[in-house]
Structure 1
Amino acid sequence: MSQRKRLSNTQSSSQNKRQSSSSVTQEEDEDATFTQPSTSQVQRGLEKLTPAQVDQKTAEVVQYFLMKDQKKIPVRRADLVKYVVKDYRTIYPEIIKRAARTFEQVFGLKLVEIDPKHHMYILVNNLETATSRAAPVECPTNPKMGLLFVILSVIFMKGGTVKENLIWNTLKKLRVDPGQKHEEFGDVKKVVTDEFVRQKYLEYLRIPHTEPVEYEFRWGPRADAEVSKARILEFMGKLHEQDPRSWTQQYREAHATQNSS
């Protein structure tokens, strides 16, 4: 009886994985069928529409991005075209250009493509970057962002890649035990390995040829776009009462990144 049940669970699990894989492939296929319209195609498309129609569709795109950004979920071009742009796909470049301008001028946000291969976009705080003030992640105002900031700091100071055990041990020292439900974060492990990964702040990757299986963390593309490594180094310097320049390699990397942005 128990053997049949285990077999059934295994089959169900593999079926779910196949369905999930099929869903991802289908989404990628949908995006592959979308060809970026040429300038002349966009111009012809605009001639068939009223300014009010274009403005309305741009507003819908802006609203969609802002809704996703509340949960820090990156926006895929395939989803944007399928669910929002729809019949206006021939003027997609113009809509995105106008939406980006709206984000900059009205909201002080910058539209950034963090994954050119899969065409994924996020919004970053443009005003705060422009005035060299700390972005929200760099001076966390809520506990969850504070948790993320600690993890990003550990990864950066350890050379860009760390085994997950180091992260869990660091959090335990801060009285955040990934094995216990936390009053503020709930399931800590799920927040770190699922939520932060989906939001593209972290990458959580299996280390090849490990038995038992081990995982490692790296910065995700959203962290690269939003978080200043120079500020992390300043934070660590204050924490350890140490000159940031004493971490030679990290200092060089942090300021090389800052100068190139």
Structure 2
Amino acid sequence: MKSGDIPEQGLWDYLAKLHITNDRKHAYFGDVRKLVTQTFIKQAYLVRTKKVVEGMNEDRIFIGWGVRAEHELSKKDILESMCKLLGRPSICYMAQHTAAYGPMRNEDDEDDVVEPTPK
């Protein structure tokens, strides 16, 4: 849920923490590699781009939100679902919380923006 795109390997590493790997069939998602690199790309939920990264000999592949995901998926719903899955409050993910809900406001003064502090 980072803003922008992430290295493809970073996506695989994160999914592996959730016991979703790209090297074997998943009980619910099936062929995860094909789902991410082909199906979601064709359906415009994700975009895959090759970028030159300074200090790296080879270009790297990055994954980002596609136009369909931007229009059909709510950042709030995704954040809350991930937090429920991980057992953490959404405020633990400051950048994503702000992207989903906007900056927190002080109740006493609507003009004051309060940055949330994770516990």
Q: Percent identity?
A: 35
TM-score by length of 2: 0.67
Instruction: Give runs of aligned pairs for residues 92-241 of structure 1, distance below 5 A.
Output: 156=1, 158-182=2-26, 185-209=29-53, 210-241=56-87
Instruction: Give runs of aligned pairs for residues 17-166 of structure 1, distance below 5 A.
Output: 156=1, 158-166=2-10
**CA distance in structure 2 between the partners assigned to 1:182 and 1:230 by the alignment:** 26
Q: Which residue type is aligned with residue 11 of structure 2? A: I
**CA distance in structure 2 between the partners assigned to 1:168 and 1:245 by the alignment:** 24
Q: Which residue type is aligned with residue 161 of structure 1? A: D
Q: Which residue type is aligned with residue 162 of structure 1? A: I
Deviation at residue 232 of structure 1 after TM alignment: 1.6
**CA distance in structure 2 between the partners assigned to 1:238 and 1:176 by the alignment:** 17
What are structure 2's unaligned runs of at least 5 residues? 103-119
Change (3 A) 1:182 1:232: closer
Q: Which residue type is aligned with residue 174 of structure 1? A: L
**CA distance in structure 1 between the partners assigned to 2:27 and 2:87 by the alignment:** 31
Bigger fraction of residues in helix: 1
**CA distance in structure 1 between the partners assigned to 2:67 and 2:37 by the alignment:** 15
Deviation at residue 182 of structure 1 after TM alignment: 4.3
**CA distance in structure 2 between the partners assigned to 1:182 and 1:238 by the alignment:** 21
Give the alignment partner of residue 88 of structure 2, picking from 242, 249, 252: 242
TM-score by length of 1: 0.34
Q: Which residue type is aligned with residue 20 of structure 2? A: V
Deviation at residue 171 of structure 1 after TM alignment: 2.5
Q: Which residue type is aligned with residue 52 of structure 2? A: P
Change (3 A) 1:247 1:191: closer
Which structure has the higher relative contact order (CA within 8 Å, separation 6+)? 2
**CA distance in structure 2 between the partners assigned to 1:184 and 1:247 by the alignment:** 27
What are structure 1's unaligned runs of at least 5 residues? 1-155, 257-261
**CA distance in structure 2 between the partners assigned to 1:228 and 1:162 by the alignment:** 19
Deviation at residue 191 of structure 1 after TM alignment: 1.7
**CA distance in structure 1 between the partners assigned to 2:92 and 2:15 by the alignment:** 25
Deviation at residue 184 of structure 1 after TM alignment: 5.1
**CA distance in structure 2 between the partners assigned to 1:245 and 1:187 by the alignment:** 33
Specify the structure having the higher radius of gyration (Cα).
Answer: 1
Deviation at residue 251 of structure 1 after TM alignment: 1.8
Does the residue aligned with 2:12 lie in a helix, a strand or coil? Answer: helix
Cα RMSD for the two superposed structures: 2.3
Aligned length: 100
For residues 176-219 of structure 1, what are the alpha-carbon distances to aligned partners after superposition, in whole Å with 9 as ceiling and x for unaligned?
32123445545321221111001000011112254333211111
**CA distance in structure 1 between the partners assigned to 2:20 and 2:89 by the alignment:** 28
Deviation at residue 233 of structure 1 after TM alignment: 1.9
